[in-house]
Amino acid sequence: MSAKLCVIGDSITGGVVYRDDAARYVKCRDSFVNLLGAELGLDVHNHSRFGCTSMAALSRLGRYEEDVAGCEYTLVMLGGNDSDFDWPEVARTPDEPHECNTPMGCFEEAYSKLLDRVAALGSRPIAMNLIPVFGRRYFKWFSKRADPEQLMRFLGTTDSIEHWNEMYSLAVMRVAASRGVPVLDARSAFLFRRVFDPMFSADGIHPSVEGHRKMYEFLLPQMRRILGAPSAAAC
């Protein structure tokens, strides 16, 4: 009988990519979650939701608690939307202070509660850190609906976007470590590459089809270790 894996996350774990030819977001059949499930023989119950934040995931957990309780493992991948901003509002008042969608203290509290509730339901939580943001590409994407010059008055540099993303990724690892929860390192699948442009969709935040494939390849041995599954012979 295959192990059951519940997934709580956003559009990244939901397998969303942006298709340039169709000019819209679509779900990738060969997402890293689907590929891992097929390779490891997992019965995957995916509750990922586009735009999901930690607080939204926590509030929605009651809708599928029975599903979580029935799964041996629950993968949690959140933080990307929490670390983002209301960019049109930033553009309107660039000289005012602005918080991320979920302030850091609130994020850590919600993420901690989510891991604790998963564990209390009898499922073993697995955290996943954040994939990077391709700052320049993402800025070009979201500045289509807000004044770029006003946005840059607030940002100073597109590197700032990447720094906020990294800060929330570190928070995920910090919270997980405090609870002895294993962490899947998806971030390094991108950082190990000298050029990671092809791994991103046009928006600079969602993986491309190639990105999902590279994430799967990088995460597979990590998942094997966490699940205690036999590893392939070393080369």
Q: What is the pTM of this model?
A: 0.94
Q: Rounded distance, CA 159 to CA 231, Å?
A: 38
Burial 113-122 (b: 16+ CB within 10 A, else e): ebbebbbebe
pLDDT given at position 235:
39
Q: Rounded distance, CA 194 to CA 1, Å?
A: 41
Beta-carbon-side half-sphere exposure of residue 216 (alpha carbons within 13 Å): 20
Selecting from 3.40.630.30, 3.40.50.1110, 3.40.50.170, 3.40.50.720, what CATH number does the domain 4-227 have? 3.40.50.1110
| Tokens found for residue 71 | 């799964």
Angle, alpha carbons 102-110-171 (nearest 5°): 70
Contacts (Cβ under 8 Å, ≥6 apart) of 25: 11, 16, 17, 18, 19, 50, 206
pLDDT given at position 234:
43
pLDDT given at position 162:
96
Summarize pLDDT for 24-42 with one digit per residue, the tens.
Answer: 999 999 999 999 999 999 9
Q: Are 10 and 84 in contact (CB under 8 A)?
A: no
Parse the chain into domains and list their residue ranges: 4-227
Could you say which residues of the chain have pLDDT below 70?
1, 229-235
